[in-house]
A and B are shown apart, each in its own frame.
Chain A
Amino acid sequence: MMAAFILAFSLLTLLMFFVSYCRSLTASSLHMSISEDVRDVTGIQVRAAGRDYTRVMQILQLCPDRPEDRSGLQIVGAYFSFLNLLDQGFARISPAVRTWAEEERASCAHFAAVALGRRIALNREMLAQQVEL
């Protein structure tokens, strides 16, 4: 009985801490705007939407890797998959869940777009260094 209670409590808190941790990651990029380069490449107009995430990630994989971004992108990727599952599972029951999940997916897309901006800037720097040499 006690073990079942601990298991249930742990699973609930795990979910809560996971969502909050991912939100704290995406929130840290919300005050950064998406660069012009990223807008040109991805076609994002004003704000990133959830549907932009996959395209941004595909372009990200074409750019040189920045190790400091890797784990953040992996965690946000896992969060995005979780949101998709949530959307497929609960959206029919509660439309509020769909709205919330869509807002969160948009934050994930924004986080990825900001990371893409950093990678494009790094790419430009590397190119400039090569030209100088």
Chain B
Amino acid sequence: MGAGVCFVAFSVIRASFLKYFFLNLYVVLSLFADLLRQSILRFYGVESPQYSYAYYYTDCLLTIALFVAVISLASRVFAELRLAKYVRFVAVLLLLGTAGFSYAVVAQSSERLGTTFAVELSQNLYFVGLVLTYLLWGAVLKLQETRTRLVQMILSLGLYFSAYAGSYALLNLAPKYEVVQYLAPILGCFLPVSWALTIMRHTEDSRLTPARLVAVPR
């Protein structure tokens, strides 16, 4: 929670709040979600259906917010090519498509449609988010993007989506290895911490050498 507050505070101090509005929005929403979950947990207890609903629906909302954050970064990367509006259009289509697919999957087999839909949508969005971030990273390398802040924020998102998508896939493959419950608190901290560090360390004018970014140089 401290890292989230730190990120938003530094964004405001460094006049970057509006530049990274959707990233800030995600962090603010995650702070509110934490508060809501905590209060419901204290009031109803961890086994209650109220807590389950609150947990899975806030998680779903946060995943959608993160998806929007990826799109906002993609819009910035593609802004110079004047492709930003197409990126947004494709993103909306993808979001609706993922929601439709998730609904189709759970509608046939589930009695508790509400929470199962939220869980299914979250899991699918993590994977769609990962694919989008991967494509965005490809575009960053292709377009020789040098803005340090943008690059590090995209890479943090890539790490976050990969870890979540992988742990959910492992959960589906082998339910006894529930890595996600141990990973979630670490990852929950990682994203605001890495974004806060990026905002603190680098200015909007900081630049990187694109050749240094490729995992294995060609």
Contacts and interface: CB of A to CB of B under 8 A. Distances in A.
B172 to A, nearest CB: 4
> Interface of chain A, helix or strand or loop or mixed?
helix
**Size class of A's contact patch?**
20 to 34
A39 interface: no
B162 A28 contact: no
Interface in B144-172: 148, 151-152, 155-156, 158-159, 161-163, 165-166, 168-170, 172
Given A10-B130, A13-B130, A24 B148 contact: yes
Given A10-B169, A14-B166, A100-B216, A21 B148 contact: no
A63 interface: no
B81 interface: no
A9 B165 CA distance: 9
B141 to A, nearest CB: 9
B212 interface: yes
Contacts of B200: 68
Given A3-B173, A6-B169, A10-B169, A17 B162 contact: yes
Nearest to A10: B166
Contacts of A7: 166, 169-170, 173
Contact of B165 (A6, A15, A18, A28): A6
A72 interface: yes
> Interface of chain B, helix or strand or loop or mixed?
helix
Contacts of B166: 6-7, 10-11, 14
B165 A27 contact: no
Nearest to B208: A27
A88 B11 CA distance: 42
Interface of A: 3-4, 6-7, 9-11, 13-21, 23-28, 30, 68, 71-72, 100
26 contacts: A7-B173, A10-B127, A10-B163, A11-B162, A13-B130, A13-B134, A13-B161, A14-B162, A14-B163, A16-B158, A17-B133, A19-B215, A19-B216, A20-B137, A20-B158, A20-B213, A20-B215, A21-B155, A25-B152, A28-B206, A30-B209, A68-B197, A68-B201, A71-B197, A72-B197, A100-B216
